[in-house]
Structure 1
Amino acid sequence: MRGIALERRKVIGVAAGLAVLPVWWGLRQVVSGAKGDWHTDTAPLERAFPLLGPLTDAKWVSSRDSDRGIPSPELVLSGFARLTPGKLAELAVAHAFVSEGPADEFSSWFEKPLKGEGPENPRWVRSHELDRDGSGYSTSLWFDRRSDTVRFWALNPYG
């Protein structure tokens, strides 16, 4: 009888430990702010958006990120990047800009880590000439003049 009681305690202990593990992981994600869920490398963005030139900083996500069971068949990049000083002024000389902000605040499942990120109180402008559409890819770029930040959303940016 004593052996059965000991085995039952082991099973209960292991089950309790397994129940605590997801809670611990969830709390760790909340405390850390899930900051590890975005990319900071600029090279892929510079390849996707060559007109923006070298970028100095970035926070972005991809529809192919995450451990979801079914990967996205299409690649979407979304996030923020910082332009080199003077780059936006250079673009404004060559392209027409209008005051226009993004329609949504990161509504896709993979964009959740970006909520609350980006420049404070941005005044977005956009050049439809810089956005690309057709051949299965499209890009939307919004620029904040005060912070030299670009917010981007791109479907299949590499063609």
Structure 2
Amino acid sequence: MTVLAACTSTAKSTDGHGVRTDSEPLERRFAALGPLSHAHWLGVVLGTESRVSVPGPADVRVVGFAQLRAGSVAAIAGASKRGFQPATPSQLPKKLVRFMPKGARWVRSESFDLRVTGGRYSGAFYFDRGADWVYFDTTNPSVVSSSGP
């Protein structure tokens, strides 16, 4: 599975606790966000805690934070008619809690989520206008050709 191969952990791109810090895999999947920096994210195979293991394709949750270029969130949320509303990210993995931007005021638009995912996978994207952060929580993200700027 392409997603699994692209999201498995490598020593060179982690912080020593399994948290990924490379942004290139994210930029390819979330092209509508533009260049990313200060990334901290996880690629977690779902269902691995189960006692029953079923062979076959696995779902991968890709979740984390990254910083966009200055002014990007204002351009994304302000220039569109996508109905961004205040929202709070949920189900934040414990390994990522320390990377949550302090004082962030998150907004989200289901319409924008669909633009990024192209309807090919599930995902939610929360933005903080104050410091241009994005929190993403996706399942099986793939490169979507229509998600480009």
Do the two structures share a fold, i.e. TM-score over 0.5?
yes
Name stretches of at least 5 consecutive residues in structure 2 with no aligned partner.
1-14, 144-149
Bigger Rg, which one: 1
User: How big is the shift at 1:82?
Assistant: 0.3
1:74 and 2:59 correspond? yes
- Which of 123, 128, 132 aligns to 2:110? It is 128
Q: Which has the higher contact order (CA 8 A, sep 6+)?
A: 2
Contact kept, 8 Å, 1:61 with 1:79, in 2: the verdict is yes
Is residue 70–residue 131 contact of structure 2 (8 Å, CA) maintained in 1? Answer: no
**What's the C-alpha RMSD, in Å, of the aligned pairs?**
2.7
Partner residue of 1:85? 70
Cα distance in 1 for partners of 2:67, 2:91 equals: 19
TM-score for both structures, normalised by structure 2: 0.69
1:99 aligns with 2:83: no
Native 8 Å contact 1:105 1:115 kept in 2:
no
- Number of residue-to-residue matches in the alignment: 119
CA distance in structure 2 between the partners assigned to 1:128 and 1:56 by the alignment: 24
Distance 1:52 1:146 in 2: 16
Check the 8 A contact 1:35/1:113 in 2, yes or no: no
Q: Tell whether 2:102 aligns with 1:114.
A: no
Q: Give structure 1 regions of 4+ aligned residues with deviation exceeding 3 angstroms.
A: 67-72
The alignment partner of 1:44 has SS state of: helix
Which amino acid in 1 is paired with 2:61?
V
Alignment of 1:2-151 (within 5 A): 36-64=17-45, 73-92=58-77, 93-94=79-80, 95-102=82-89, 104-106=90-92, 111-132=93-114, 134-135=119-120, 137-151=121-135
Q: CA deviation at 1:122?
A: 1.4
Query: Residue 40 of structure 1 contacts residue 57 of structure 1 at CA under 8 Å; is this kept in 2?
Result: yes
Deviations 1:99-143 (A, max 9, x none): 1112x242xxxx3211232210211111211113644x1110001
The CA distance in 1 between the partners of 2:27 and 2:49, in whole Å, is: 27
Q: CA deviation at 1:64?
A: 3.5
Ranges in structure 1 where 5+ consecutive residues have no aligned partner:
1-33
* Residue 156 of structure 1 pairs with residue 137 of structure 2: no
